[in-house]
Amino acid sequence: MNTESAITVGGLNFEWDLTEGRFLFEGQESVLFWTASAMKMFFDSIEEISGKDAANVVLETTGFRQGLVVGQYFRGIKGISIAEAAQMITNTYASAGWGLAEIKELNEETHKLEVHLKNSWEHLINVAQEKEQGGSFLPAHYAGIFSSLFKQNIWYKVVHHQLDGFEESIIQYFPSDETIEKNIHHLSRLKEAEKINELERLVDEKTRELNEMIKEISSPLIPVLEDIVVVPLLGTYDEARAEELLVKTLQNMPEHKAKYLILDLTGLNNNFTQHAAMLIEKLGLTASLIGTQTILVGISGKMSMTITDSGINLSKFQCFQTLQHGIHYALAQNGRSII
């Protein structure tokens, strides 16, 4: 069996050495892949791992940078013009299975041109992927090629893709400040913004859950003995939380047939304000309307000063220093005691 062979197609050399497992295209190490299967899986994997937007930027960046290398190679060939280099590139790509490419309206003064692509490998992959929009690798690739040939940054605009139902893809090229670096930075900012939005959403969600939890555990109504319930006041009470406490307490007291409501103010020692004093007064007066007597316990010297300065009169309620004293008082009103 012949393990070495070489052919020339369109003036380009192809060589195989089966004993070494090598394939050479124009003397350079090369590989062959099935377009609609192996290459499709490669593109699918990139998109699956990085997401569609990131995959597009990855392919665009790779295509452009590969194009720079190709352009530099042909620019280094002495004695050929840019138009001749462009013709050599398209012939080379056609023989390598990259599809039919035609360079049109090439203007070496304005550095503008059009590239018409037909049946490119990227188009075949996009068809196999059942894509609705053409890819960015080859459009960016030719931008890289002509950036090297013109020694100026060239960018592109897709007029239409073959995938859109046309006979060929048409891409316009022109000098521009647009670069792959800008697109990478734009994608990074976009991903950062998406991450921030997701974090804000999670924070809002957790805040709502926490608020609901606080409502459930904040100032619970605790039945300690028959006819006696205790409500410990904790933390700082704004208008919404005060209203929640008032409604929750008054709704649940009839269920416990409470004759005595003991408000434990111990947890307000560092957060006792005039607003808290007003809440206590309102809660006690409202409870009295349904036949419940309010007892205040846990009043510190600091609280006493705040109450006095506020001008709010809480003397209508029985006040004790500790919860134990308050419970003993409530029991004594019915001739009971704790033994």
Fold of the 219-333 domain: Transcription Regulator spoIIAA (3.30.750)
Given this model, what pLDDT does residue 234 score? 80
Given this model, what pLDDT does residue 243 score? 82
Report domain extents, the chain.
Answer: 1-32, 34-178, 219-333
Given this model, what pLDDT does residue 105 score? 94
Q: Which of 197, 135, 132, 192 is nearest to 165 (CA)?
A: 132
How far does Cα 274 stand from its chain's mean position? Answer: 44
Given this model, what pLDDT does residue 107 score? 95
Residue with tokens 């006040």: 319
Burial class (CB in 10 A: 0-12, 13-18, 19+), 113: buried
C-alpha–C-alpha distance, residues 13 and 91, integer Å: 12
Token pair for 30: 């090369």
**Sign of the dihedral through C-alpha 23, 26, 31, 35:** negative
Given this model, what pLDDT does residue 86 score? 92
Given this model, what pLDDT does residue 338 score? 67
Q: Which of 334, 278, 333 is nearest to 310 (CA)?
A: 278
- Residue 84 sits at φ, ψ, to 5 deg, of -65, -40
Per-run averaged pLDDT (10 residues), the chain, 339 residues? 77 86 88 86 86 86 92 89 92 89 94 96 93 92 95 95 95 91 73 72 78 63 85 80 81 83 83 78 86 88 79 83 89 77
C-alpha–C-alpha distance, residues 85 and 77, integer Å: 8
C-alpha–C-alpha distance, residues 220 and 234, integer Å: 10
Given this model, what pLDDT does residue 160 score? 96
β-pairing, 293-297 with 318-320?
Answer: parallel
Domain 34-178, CATH: 3.30.1380.20
Q: Which of 247, 264, 269 is nearest to 322 (CA)?
A: 264
pTM metric for this prediction: 0.58
Token pair for 12: 């380009």
Given this model, what pLDDT does residue 1 score? 52
Cβ neighbours of residue 173 under 8 Å, at least 6 residues apart?
Answer: 112, 113, 114, 115, 142, 143, 146, 154, 155, 156
